[in-house]
Structure 1
Amino acid sequence: MPGQPPRSHLYVPADQPRFLRAAPRSGADALILDLEDAVAPSRKDGARAAAVAFAQERAAGGPELWVRINEGARGRDDARALLATGRVDGLWMPKATAGADLDALIALVAAAPEVALGLLIESATGVLSLADTAGRAGVRHLQLGEVDLRADLRMAPDSAPGDQLLDWARGLTVAHTAAHGLVSAVAPVSVHASDPEAFRTSSLRLRGLGFQGRACIHPVQVAVANEVFGVDPGELADAHALLDLFEHRVDAGSGAFRDSGGAMVDAATVRRARELTGRADRTA
């Protein structure tokens, strides 16, 4: 859909050839080759080489290709290797906070302006430094990493899918995404991969909070994320109809008006319709 960010972001351990082969057929809008948490320390060099090879061999027209790099100096080496391919769409920085590591990564990405940067917010410091980090050059997505965040906050693991204990952090992530004009806030993974209905329920709630896509750790979650975070055809048709009516009213010199359902149409309603449809503002 025009102007729509990826609905699903599928994590793929880069050291697992079987998963790499299957990933392009998963239906995910974006793949995240994982060099960090999913890869044992002894396998990280091989995982980097596999990610580079995957990028070099990727077919045109497939899903977006992102890589979650490691922290620190190893992560900068990961970034240099992937950027040299000229075939990646973006890099995810784990445990992102303000500081020298972020400065160094931004400097590397600045040399490849076609490559985007995503920040994984996985600590209390990461959440509280969003005002400093979300607006940095090249940053296009924020993703909340709740597994690590819970550990950092000394909270119990998410034993009940869909709990609301981290809504404050979710709200801050969404708010900074909007305030800094980023492409989207990516909802956190669910470790309950064997329960697609619970994933659907929590995804619907996260969409209601303002997230525009979701990270997935299993292909079975991808179809659910695509459905929940996609644009409903009826909703899209209604948005086009509202914009048609709005443009007609503007041409007629009218300001505020009611839609076909009797609800008042304001600037925020029109802006949301433009985001859904990708239509330019011809009345400007």
Structure 2
Amino acid sequence: MSVPPLRSTSRLRERVRARRGECTTPAASLAPRPPDVHLLLAPDSPEAAREAVRSGVDAVVLDLYGDDGSGQDLAMAWACARTVQIARAGAGRSRSPQLRLRVNPAGTAACEDELAQLAGMCEGLILPEVRSADDVQWVAKRAPAVRIVPVIENAEGLSRAASISSHPAVSRLGYSAAGFTRRARRAGEAGTEAVGLLLSAEVRQWQRGIMIAAAVAAGLPGPVNGIGTARAKAGLDAYAEDAAPARSAGFTGQCANSPAQLARLSRLWGPAAAPPPHREAG
């Protein structure tokens, strides 16, 4: 008995989406080239936003989410976003940086306000603490024209990376080792064992491997590494040590939260150093 040839996962996915009445054009195809170096900024200084545009980064990310549960002044955030728009228009660069917003988690009142007031000003959204494709859908319903980078930073999201990455609004995945670290420490305080294992470099690389597989299966570019908070304080060595294994794993983007980190990260993640895009067989 002959065995029928296997069909590619991408073709099967397109047929499923067509039956659901979903958009069958991958969101990633809308961007000719994904950003490589992202700079996270607290949205509290239009002058800092202006300088970020001049710094040569690929994406300026205004960080609206306080990991402690606090939000940002949306009027000031709007002023920073508008400053980025004006600075890009006058920069005269062949490729101006994208403007992205790191919003509050899906389902929160803060996220709903941010999307209503600011989503129309940016090219992309960084969505933290994603646990399932339902979180992506919640945001996509409220900002249907904006591409989304869901950040994998918890066990629920990692276990569902394939379904999250296949959502049509997703342009690429994001990864935050710091998010896993925070949750591991909280678990340790509650008496859970093996906290040290969750913080190890080997496990971080294993987590990245799962995300790479999900991105390849969905036909997405490599994920973005190091999406944390603009308020975190990490030295140049710490960022470089985390960025190098991410790039070797197949990630194609890296976040910085200080202009002082940009020169070193750009040498690692710049266009000339970027790894080739992943391709699906068949």
Report the TM-score, using the length of structure 2 for normalisation. Answer: 0.69
- Report if aligned partners of 1:5, 1:184 keep a CA contact under 8 Å in 2: no
Is it true that 1:218 corresponds to 2:258 in the alignment?
Answer: yes
Change in 2 beyond 3 A, CA 1:143/1:26 = same
Letter of the aligned partner of 1:172 in structure 2? I
Change in 2 beyond 3 A, CA 1:42/1:104 = closer
Q: How many residues align?
A: 229
Is it true that 1:186 corresponds to 2:224 in the alignment?
Answer: yes
Deviations 1:18-55 (Å, cap 9, x if unpaired)? 42232112221111110002798364434443345335
1:268 alignment counterpart? none
Letter of the aligned partner of 2:178 in structure 1? V
**Cα RMSD for the two superposed structures:** 3.2
Match of 1:81 among 94, 117, 137: 117
Match of 2:162 among 131, 135, 139: 131
Match of 1:151 among 182, 190, 193: 182
Deviations 1:79-130 (Å, cap 9, x if unpaired)? 1222334xx11011111122654322111232x2xx3111111211111121
Alpha-carbon separation, structure 1, partners of 2:82 and 2:68: 17
Alpha-carbon separation, structure 2, partners of 1:220 and 1:167: 25
Change in 2 beyond 3 A, CA 1:197/1:158 = farther
Deviations 1:146-197 (Å, cap 9, x if unpaired)? 11212223446999xx933312211111221111111330111586633x34
Alpha-carbon separation, structure 1, partners of 2:226 and 2:245: 12
- Report if aligned partners of 2:133, 2:163 keep a CA contact under 8 Å in 1: no
1:173 alignment counterpart? 211
Query: Which SS does the other structure have where 1:91 is aligned?
Result: strand
Alpha-carbon separation, structure 2, partners of 1:216 and 1:158: 23
Give the 5 Å matches for 1:7-156.
Answer: 7-37=36-66, 41=70, 43-54=72-83, 57-60=86-89, 61=93, 62-71=96-105, 72-85=108-121, 88-98=122-132, 100-110=134-144, 112=145, 115-153=146-184, 154=187, 155=195
Query: Which SS does the other structure have where 2:248 is aligned?
Result: helix
Query: Which SS does the other structure have where 1:75 is aligned?
Result: helix
* Structure 2: stretches of 5+ with no match in the other structure: 1-30, 188-194
Alpha-carbon separation, structure 1, partners of 2:85 and 2:227: 27
Query: Which SS does the other structure have where 1:165 is aligned?
Result: helix
Change in 2 beyond 3 A, CA 1:52/1:187 = closer
Query: Which SS does the other structure have where 2:263 is aligned?
Result: helix
Identity %: 25
Question: Which 10-residue stretch deviates more, 101-110 or 176-185?
Answer: 101-110
1:265 alignment counterpart? none
State the shift of 1:67 in Å: 0.5
Query: Which SS does the other structure have where 1:182 is aligned?
Result: coil
2:13 alignment counterpart? none
Larger-Rg structure: 1
Alpha-carbon separation, structure 1, partners of 2:168 and 2:207: 23
1:254 alignment counterpart? none
Letter of the aligned partner of 1:209 in structure 2? A
* Structure 1: stretches of 5+ with no match in the other structure: 237-271, 277-284
Change in 2 beyond 3 A, CA 1:104/1:201 = closer
Report the TM-score, using the length of structure 1 for normalisation. Answer: 0.69
Give the 5 Å matches for 1:186-265.
Answer: 186-188=224-226, 193-194=234-235, 196-232=236-272
Alpha-carbon separation, structure 1, partners of 2:56 and 2:242: 20
1:282 alignment counterpart? none
Change in 2 beyond 3 A, CA 1:93/1:141 = same
Deviations 1:52-92 (Å, cap 9, x if unpaired)? 5335535235211100111222212211222334xx11011
Alpha-carbon separation, structure 2, partners of 1:227 and 1:148: 26
Question: Which 10-residue stretch deviates more, 206-215 or 51-60?
Answer: 51-60
Change in 2 beyond 3 A, CA 1:97/1:38 = closer
